[in-house]
Amino acid sequence: GESVGLHLPTLSVQEGDNSIINCAYSNSASDYFIWYKQESGKGPQFIIDIRSNMDKRQGQRVTVLLNKTVKHLSLQIAATQPGDSAVYFCADYLTGFQKLVFGTGTRLLVSP
Amino acid sequence: EAGVTQSPTHLIKTRGQQATLRCSPISGHTSVYWYQQALGLGLQFLLWYDEGEERNRGNFPPRFSGRQFPNYSSELNVNALELEDSALYLCASSLAAGQGKPLHFGNGTRLTVT
């Protein structure tokens, strides 16, 4: 996917709220999905992954949901904290092309 | 365990020059990936190396090249630099290539072309 640069989608939440970040992927052949968190000046940090034979996976304070029918992925963050403020990217693994394709990114802003 | 390390952190070059960026993967990882992230934009796949061989490349001109050494470290070379090459270049590594193995990223090299 291509980011729209300065028009990066932004989600603003209050500390303690639950956050839901959505992502659409385009290739029905994708069979592995990852969420990354990128803080300013740093590289993307692995959060959680899910394979296409699952529709839900939980981690610590995070849950990823996969809907293959509509090619949609979401990341849920429980009890969002100011330290969760970052840009979040979904990525899907393109079987046959052997590369990870990144989505546009969503900026999460958490206010105290 | 040390993560993916990249050097230099910042690099300033002038148009037409060549740039060399270096990456050391996590110990035990054999696959190395390079991505370009222009300011405020998403990550664009550049190159993938595994076991010393180039396995795939993204939609970039041939002046973007690289290699992987026997110790699995890698370097990215960009020849005939253009202003639009200014970006954060991210290296990632993973266990043997394939589905189900997450990429782990370094903090990147910020290349500025003037």
Which residues have a Cβ under 8 Å from the Cβ of A107 and sit 6 or more positions away? A8, A9, A10, A11, A86, A87, A88
Q: What is the CATH number of the domain that holds B18?
A: 2.60.40.10
Chain segment A53-72, per-residue pLDDT in tens: 999 999 999 999 999 999 99
Whether A1 shows a pLDDT value over 50: the answer reads no
**Domains with residue ranges and CATH for chain A:** 8-111 (2.60.40.10)
CB pairs under 8 A between A and B: 66
Least confident residue range of A44-48, A88-92, B37-41: B37-41
- Residue B16 within any structural domain of the chain: yes
Q: What is the pLDDT along chain B (114 residues), one digit of tens a residue?
A: 689 999 999 999 999 999 999 999 999 999 999 999 998 778 999 999 999 999 999 999 999 999 999 999 999 999 999 999 999 999 999 987 655 688 999 999 999 999
Cβ <8 Å between B42 and A32: no
- Residue B55 within any structural domain of the chain: yes
Q: Which of B40, B97, B106 sits opposite A98 (nearest CB)?
A: B97
Q: What is the mean predicted confidence (pLDDT) over A7-14? A: 87
Domain that holds residue B34: 5-97
Using an 8 Å Cβ cutoff, are A6 and A105 in contact? no
With cut-offs at 50, 70 and 90, classify the pLDDT of residue A97: low
A96 touches chain B (CB under 8 A): no
Whether A41 shows a pLDDT value over 70: the answer reads yes
Give the separation between CA B44 and CA A29, rounded to whole angstroms: 19
- Residue B51 within any structural domain of the chain: yes
- Residue B112 within any structural domain of the chain: no
What is the count of structural domains for chain B?
1
Q: Which of B33, B42, B108 sits opposite A3 (nearest CB)?
A: B42
Give ∠ CA A79-A83-A88 in degrees, rounded to 5. Answer: 85
Residue carrying structure tokens 């996590």: B26
Is the omega angle on the peptide bond into residue B102 within 30 degrees of 0, that is, cis?
no
Give the separation between CA B6 and CA B8, rounded to whole angstroms: 6
Mutation site, B21, B39, B43, interface A, largest A CB count within 10 A: B43
Least confident residue range of A2-6, A43-47, A50-54, B73-77: A2-6
The predicted structure's pLDDT at residue A28: 85
- Residue B52 within any structural domain of the chain: yes
Whether A6 shows a pLDDT value over 60: the answer reads no
- Residue B53 within any structural domain of the chain: yes
Chain segment A29-40, per-residue pLDDT in tens: 888 999 999 999
The predicted structure's pLDDT at residue A2: 36
| Complete edge-to-edge strand list for the sheet that includes strand A19-24 | A19-24, A72-77, A62-67, A56-58
- Residue B24 within any structural domain of the chain: yes
End-to-end CA distance of chain B: 37
Phi/psi at A109 (5° precision): -115, 125
- Residue B47 within any structural domain of the chain: yes
Which among B102, B107, B73, B77 has a CA at the least distance from the CA of B90? B107
Give the separation between CA A33 and CA A102, rounded to whole angstroms: 10
Nearest-neighbour CA in chain B from A40: distance (Å): 10
A44 touches chain B (CB under 8 A): yes
Give the separation between CA A64 and CA A72, rounded to whole angstroms: 11
The predicted structure's pLDDT at residue B98: 59
Residue predicted with more confidence, B80 or A93: B80
Which one-letter amino acid corresponds to residue A77? I
